[in-house]
Amino acid sequence: MKQITRIFARTVPLIPLFLLIGSCQKLAEEDTVDAPVSLKISTRAPEEADIHFPVCIYAFSSKGKYIDRQQIASNEEEMNFRLPEGSYRLVALAGIGEEYIIEEKPQLDDVIRIADRGYAKTPLMHGMADVTLKGKSAKAVITLGYAVAAVHVNLSGIKDADEVKVSISPHYPHLSLAGKYSGDGTKLEADCTEDGEGNWRAGPCYIFPGSASKTVFSITVIRNGETQVYGYTYSGAPQANRPFNATGTYNGVLDISGTLVAKGWEEPIDVNFTFGEKGDEDPLPDDPEENGEIPAAGTIWNDCIVVGADHVTATGADLLLLSMKEWRGKAADAEQLIRDYSVNGIGEWRLPSADEARGMRKIFLGPKLRALNARIVERGKNESEIAIDRRYLCKNEKVYYTFQFAEGKNIIRAGTKTTYLIRVVKKYRFTVP
């Protein structure tokens, strides 16, 4: 019967490879001592892990020299290395098929390359362990994690196109067996397929992480032999072990959302942007100056973000303010973190309710959120932009929940061990001077 071992790091299943060592015949090798040791290896994986066999395990000397390579085709199989006593670096790779190029007998610093168009259709998993073989027995655990990002693209509303292509750049072209990414940035180029109703999809495309702080999206639409290219630059990058899922509308908002998350992957990265003839701008009102006007939603007033106004009269309004300051912490620590916060004489801030969180998400979505973040940056005060790819805390009575500034995201109950972003709100009566 298949044995199942459940080991988790954050939300990522860990695949342990247990190495049991006993005596065997001597095999001479550099960087080792003479006493022979046998390594018996078996795999045990959680049910949730989607491991692509075979799993290849490489043994390197303490100086990174190739010693041997073995592979197993399933969880039930075992393998045996026959090595002299000494210190070794063990590297495990899962999903390493024809899409990935690697030397037959690589050194530890040699690299793995993706063969076709900058992406693969099979996710690569990588893990390492150091082991010293001495005496009759020893044990080591290799933890496998995804070494790639999973990119999905879903575009709708392009009903008159003959072809749609998408490219994402730059991302690393190489991963060394030692686990280091390197090389000049390369580009993912994928053809989208249509479902007959104007929806174009590509993916999953597996790529190594982004190699720059920004990512360039390029969408090519071909109609009647004419080509139109739409571009957008996102202030972020694909990351290993995280989905990068795009769902969008032509001439509307293109959302990178997390609805296609596979088991074993961490929380996805979300990006919103617009492409098409109308462009990408949906400006917010100007920040209020000393003109006596009631601050509008999306403006920055008195070092606070204005979410909205209620009970508006000729003399004033009740403003819902969102803090410029941002914290990081667990739900249990949130109240302590925000307790003494005050800005320009305004105190007694609190976590937003779930209804307030929903309202803020509707107000600050897509172009309006980008415009607000640009305004925050322009202030030059080293203040944090509002994140799209992270969850913020909110609270109903005594229960903590989390939300994101992204369309299609549910408000869910907060975990006890996860670190979240925190911004606070304040209802404030603004009086016209």
Cα dist from 408 to 53, 124, 272, 287, whole Å:
34, 29, 12, 29
CA 16, 22, 28, 30 torsion-angle sign: positive
**Across 142-150, average pLDDT:** 86
Alpha carbons 423 and 323: distance in angstroms, whole number: 6
pLDDT of residue 315: 82
Q: What is the pLDDT of residue 37?
A: 54
Q: Please tell me the predicted confidence (pLDDT) of residue 138.
A: 61
pLDDT tens digits, 364-421 = 888 888 889 989 998 889 899 999 889 999 999 889 999 999 876 788 999 999 999 9
Please indicate whether residue 271 or residue 155 has the higher confidence score (pLDDT).
155
Pairing of strands 243-249, 149-156: parallel
- What is the token pair recorded at 424? 């606070």
At residue 338's C-alpha, the angle toward residues 337 and 342, to 5°, is: 135
180 and 234 Cβ atoms separated by less than 8 Å: no
User: Chain-wide mean pLDDT for the chain?
Assistant: 78
Tell me the CA end-to-end span of the chain in Å, nearest whole number: 78
Backbone angles phi, psi at 4, to 5 degrees: -120, 125
Collapsing DSSP to helix, strand or coil, 356 comes out as: helix
- In this predicted structure, what is the pLDDT of residue 133? 80
Which pLDDT value is given to residue 357?
Answer: 93
Peptide bond just before 170 cis, omega within 30 deg: yes
Task: Please state, in angstroms and rounded to a whole number, the distance separating the CA atoms of residues 428 and 409.
Answer: 28
Residue 2: per-residue pLDDT? 36
pLDDT band at 237 (very low <50, low <70, confident <90, very high): confident
Sign of CA dihedral 407, 408, 413, 417: negative
- Does 266 have pLDDT greater than 80? no
Across 32-36, 192-196, 213-217, 351-355, the highest mean pLDDT is recorded for: 351-355
More confident residue, 242 or 420: 420
- Span 108-124, average pLDDT: 90
Question: pLDDT per residue over 313-350, tens digit each?
Answer: 778 889 999 999 999 999 999 999 999 999 999 999 99
Question: Which conformational region is residue 406 in: left (phi greater than 0), alpha (psi within -120 to 50 degrees), or beta?
Answer: beta
The pLDDT tens digits for 21-51 are 333 323 233 333 344 555 554 444 444 456 7
Of 186, 194, 175, the closest CA to residue 108 belongs to: 175
> pLDDT: is 405 or 196 the higher one?
405
In this prediction, what percent of the chain has a pLDDT beyond 70? 74
